[in-house]
Amino acid sequence: MGQARAGRAGADMESADERARRLEHEVPRIKAALESVAAGRVVPLEAVDAWIESLGTDHELPAPRAKR
């Protein structure tokens, strides 16, 4: 009758086919992100916090970039 649904309680449910399509796109990006972290390409938390605090002020900082 209906397709099996996967998802979290209270979240919009997705079908198994929708989940497979989503993961097809997400998994390579997640792997690339983990490789970047392992290589030390990260943005320091302090830089992110300073940038966020500057938003909407007269002295907005540029978005922080990853350090190598």
Tens digit of pLDDT at every position of the chain (68 positions) = 455 555 555 467 999 999 999 999 999 999 999 999 999 999 999 999 999 999 999 999 999 998 76
Separation between Cα atoms, residue 50 and residue 47, nearest integer Å: 5
pLDDT at 5: 52
Question: Residue 41: which residues within 8 A CB-CB, separation 6 or more?
Answer: 66, 67, 68
**Whole-structure pTM over 0.85, yes or no?**
no
* Cα 61 from chain centroid (whole Å): 22
Rounded to 5°, the CA angle 66-46-63 comes to 50
